[in-house]
Structure 1
Amino acid sequence: MIAVATQDEAIRQIENHFRKSRRKIYVVLEEFHLEWKTSDILMFQKFWYRGFSLKWIAEYFGRDIDEMAVVVMDQARRGYIRPRPSGIFCGPETQPDANVKKRIAKMKILYPETYMLFEDTDFYWDERDVLQFDRMWNEGYSLEDIATYFRRHEDEIALLVIDRARKGYIN
């Protein structure tokens, strides 16, 4: 059921871009696995709260560290994890508060088997806009200014930063 909704959303986003133009479409982070087993996301949350480093968690799941950073962004954005004093590094065990525990319980109901990272995010960009982004980023524009310019959420810009930096197009 979730996969169908996600597929419908992806089709809607592509159709929206085709309506805007017939230019080339660029897909952000297309090499990443954004669909996870819910049980793996729950395990990630457990490791996060137990204080394991992001590097260790990435190795446990056999995933790239950047891919795990995207998991952290998604989970923090949705309120399933909280910032830790040690950040992404190994640190003391913490506990989710009551509100986070409620969100996690709801997550288990909404996503019984499959969890999609950033399911409400538009990963599709016009290729010319990506080149404009590269110029703006390399000229020192802030993430917020770029988000305003493109009329996109800051998370979408942050994901594009990860994508373009991995590919060596931005500093």
Structure 2
Amino acid sequence: MSVAALVDRLEIALVDFNFEWSLVQMRQVVDYWYDGKSIYDMAELLNRKPDEIILLIVDFARGRVLPPRPYGLNANNRIFISKKHLRDKKDNLRRFVQDSPVYIPFIEKNFVWNDWEIKRFRDMWEADDSIIWISKQLNRDIDEVLFLIIDQAGKGFIDPRKNGLLGKDATEHDLIRQRLPF
């Protein structure tokens, strides 16, 4: 007699992304950020997916490598920084590649999702809940929810929302900062 067991299917978010960054590429991203280039310009110059650029920028922002910009990921005015300060900032990137010739942002995060988590996420996304609320409800790190958003949008399972990541909790200022040029 065989017994069938119900097993929840697992899905790995962003499995088709290249997470490896060389020191040279990371320095270029820092230069491009301060020059005011958009993520689309950076992606074209670095021959990378825009979403890969976004993940590195989020990681650098968390590590206080990059400052916020008035128009976020869009094109911005150049950020003034002294040549010495910029050189020091780029030299400090060596700490990211101490143990390896490449750096992998968010290597400690969980990219594995159960079917029920994905279904619940999609329901909350459709309800215009914020990424903050979703992460609390799913008991997941906000970065992990961001990865799932990028993954699900890339696969066409969710659509962009008028109020972006913050959903119904977004302020007018938030909407201006996250607006992407298309």
TM-score (structure 1 length as normaliser): 0.76
Aligned amino acid, residue 120 of structure 1: E
Partner residue, 1:75: 60
Alpha-carbon distance in structure 2 between the residues aligned to 1:38 and 1:65 = 18
Partner residue, 1:6: none
Partner residue, 1:116: 104
Offset of residue 104 of structure 1: 5.3
Secondary structure, in 3 states, of the residue corresponding to 1:170? Answer: coil
Which of 150, 162, 169 is the aligned partner of 1:162?
150
CA distance 1:68–1:123, change in 2 (3 Å): same
Residues 6-25 of structure 1 correspond to what in structure 2 (within 5 A)?
23-25=8-10
Which of 124, 131, 137 is the aligned partner of 2:125?
137
Question: Hey, which bits of structure 1, 4+ residues long, moved more than 6 A?
Answer: 98-103
Check the 8 A contact 2:69/2:76 in 1, yes or no. Answer: no
Check the 8 A contact 2:23/2:102 in 1, yes or no. Answer: yes
CA distance 1:143–1:94, change in 2 (3 Å): same
Matched-pair identity in %: 26
Alpha-carbon distance in structure 1 between the residues aligned to 2:158 and 2:137 = 18
Check the 8 A contact 2:11/2:114 in 1, yes or no. Answer: yes
User: Superposition RMSD on alpha carbons, in Å?
Assistant: 2.6
Partner residue, 2:46: 61
Alpha-carbon distance in structure 1 between the residues aligned to 2:94 and 2:114 = 35
Which of 19, 34, 50 is the aligned partner of 1:49?
34
Check the 8 A contact 1:79/1:100 in 2, yes or no. Answer: no
Aligned amino acid, residue 122 of structure 1: N
Check the 8 A contact 1:81/1:100 in 2, yes or no. Answer: no
Q: Which moved more, 1:126-135 or 1:81-90?
A: 81-90
Larger radius of gyration: 2
The structure with more helix, counted as a fraction of residues: 1
CA distance 1:80–1:22, change in 2 (3 Å): farther
CA distance 1:110–1:142, change in 2 (3 Å): closer
List runs of 5+ in structure 2 lacking aligned partners.
1-5, 160-182
Deviations 1:19-58 (A, max 9, x none): xx95322111111111111221111111111222222111
1:93 counterpart = 2:79: yes
Alpha-carbon distance in structure 2 between the residues aligned to 1:110 and 1:67 = 17
Partner residue, 1:12: none
Partner residue, 1:34: 19
TM-score (structure 2 length as normaliser): 0.72
List runs of 5+ in structure 1 lacking aligned partners.
1-20
How many residues are treated as equivalent by the alignment? 150
